[in-house]
Chain A
Amino acid sequence: MVRSGGGLRARLVRAIYEIGVRCLPVISVVAVFAGLVLGLQGHYVLSRFGASGMLGTLVSLSLCRELAPVLAAIMVAGQAGTALSAELGIQRSSEQIDALELMGISAEGFLVGPRLLVACFAVPVLTALFVLVGISGGWLSGCVLLHQDGHGYWAAVHDAIHGSDVRECLLKALAFGLATVSLCAYQGFHSHHLGEPGARSVSAATVRGVVFSSMLVLAADYLITALLV
């Protein structure tokens, strides 16, 4: 376990560990299966129209523009967001946040600031990884298991993704990462408004954090897509 201590460097290291490192396995697994399913469904749907050579295009654009930013953000909410809500909720109920305030330390800046900073970098990196692993998953199901042309698949991927798609992907990842961490932190921070401080308020804050941030990610996805398309 990485402890935060009091220094900024230690708190940043801990935030990198919690948001970056601990989310890595779950995001990799989800990305593999998202790619496998996309490859499988894409193969059968595109075959109906005699367009099975477009599988690489379908998988890569679906992942890059929509699925990777959304699913990666939801996984970050599930893994790091819940941990953040619960930790802040416990710190609220055990009066650690009150103690910080009485010391003259901004509790938001001290406890949430490093996580927001790390989310700006870690979530786009995790999303990019999601895209790469997901495209590989699509190749695995479409080309290895269903015997499509592998060269054609990678050529289609290469031709399909443009700079604007990558920018949209990273912009969404940045926005969703900030939204997720902020919302989960807010819920934990204000858990004392959800009932008597204690286990139930922490549990309520954790649930609200992950549910609300998942809904916010989907709503923000629609808005950003509508603005950029």
Chain B
Amino acid sequence: MTQAAPAPPPASCENEPALLRVDALHKRFGENHVLRGVSFDVPSGGIVSILGRSGTGKSVLLRCVVGLHQPDAGSVSFRGHDVLATGRRAALRQASSYVFQHNALFDSATTLENLVLALRARGSLPHALQVEKARELLRHMELEDAAHRYPAQLSGGMQKRLAVARALVTDPELVFFDEPTAGLDPVRRNSVFEMIVRLQRARGFTAVVVTHDVAEALLVSSHIVWIDQGHVHFSGTPSQFEARTEPHFRLFRDSLDALRQSLLN
């Protein structure tokens, strides 16, 4: 397969100062060099989708950005401040939240307690107000009837909604979604993307979504970052991504057409 050169160092998107800037990030696991100098910007207020095939390091990238993995080299800055330096991660963690691929809900806490715990960790609201705020969001997410149920007693879709609710209850500026539609059927996948867009528009947060659902990502995103083999090969708008004609772009982007063609042949 022909490989394009990695994308040049990040340039600010549409002349706006980046909310989050990832610069020359490297991460190795033993001999496996997963991230090989990943750089891109996240502008404020939109949905940035990080696309790539399975196993290309998208989730590792997200975990490096929030500090769950320590990168070997490179920098991550949030509002212009380096957040990888010791003791400075709190700034990013305070302003952001994270929706895990498998939700990571606290299984020994009820739906309501999952949300209250997130509020208690972040804010100084009195307990009664925390409960009120959590209940309001549960109502908004159509989970009110499940307030006193445990995560294991919820359906897959409800668990995903609860994970998103837990991420949003603290009114974050930036929300990371790690493969939010992994393992879901097409109908549920669409509803998750629809939920992300609806909530992003209503609440105004910036979303960074790691996914390999190309068609959905192109539809909902304001910015696309494409990673392959540890490099950023593209960073730009969805229309710019669709306009690229190099074979490896087309192979990834139009994989359904390629499969159809291959079967016909």
Contact = CB atoms under 8 A, between A and B. Distances in A.
Interface in A1-52: 3-6, 14
Given A3-B108, A5-B110, A96-B106, A102 B93 contact: yes
Contacts of A101: 68
Given A6-B109, A104-B94, A95 B104 contact: yes
Interface residues of A, number: 17
A102 B102 CA distance: 15
Contacts of A6: 106, 109, 113-114, 116-117, 120
B255 to A, nearest CB: 28
B108 A4 contact: yes
B249 interface: no
B252 interface: no
Interface string A82-121: 0000000001001110111111110000000000000000
B66 interface: yes
Contacts of B68: 98, 101-102
Contacts of B106: 6, 96, 99
A100 B118 CA distance: 8
Given A3-B150, A5-B108, A6-B113, A99 B98 contact: yes
Interface in B177-191: none
- Of the listed residues B116, B118, B120, the one surrounded by the most CB atoms of chain A closer than 10 A to its CB is B118
A100 to B, nearest CB: 8
A96 B104 contact: yes
A6 B131 CA distance: 12
B90 interface: yes
Contacts of A3: 108-110, 150
Interface centre among B90, B102, B105, B121 (most CB of A within 10 A): B121
Size bin of chain B's contact surface: 20 to 34
A74 B187 CA distance: 52
B96 to A, nearest CB: 8
B177 to A, nearest CB: 13
Contacts of B93: 102-104
B33 interface: no
Contacts of B98: 99, 102
Nearest to A97: B104
B66 A102 contact: yes
B139 interface: no
A201 to B, nearest CB: 16
Nearest to B110: A5
Contacts of A98: 68, 100, 104
Contact of A103 (B102, B107, B118, B150): B118
Contacts of A4: 108-109
Given A95-B102, A98-B104, A103 B121 contact: yes
B122 interface: yes
A105 B94 CA distance: 11
B97 interface: yes
B113 A5 contact: yes
Nearest to B116: A6
A98 B67 CA distance: 10
B150 to A, nearest CB: 7
Contacts of B105: 96
A5 B97 CA distance: 21
A101 B108 CA distance: 17
Nearest to B94: A104
B172 to A, nearest CB: 11
A87 to B, nearest CB: 8
18 contacts: A4-B108, A5-B109, A6-B106, A6-B113, A94-B107, A95-B100, A95-B104, A96-B104, A98-B100, A98-B104, A99-B98, A99-B104, A101-B68, A102-B68, A102-B93, A103-B97, A103-B122, A104-B122
Given A4-B109, A99-B104, 5 more contacts: A4-B108, A5-B108, A6-B116, A102-B68, A103-B93
The 8 closest A-B pairs by CB, nearest first: A95-B104, A6-B117, A99-B104, A103-B121, A4-B108, A6-B113, A105-B121, A95-B100
Interface of B: 66, 68, 90, 93-94, 97-98, 100, 102, 104-110, 113-114, 116-118, 120-122, 150
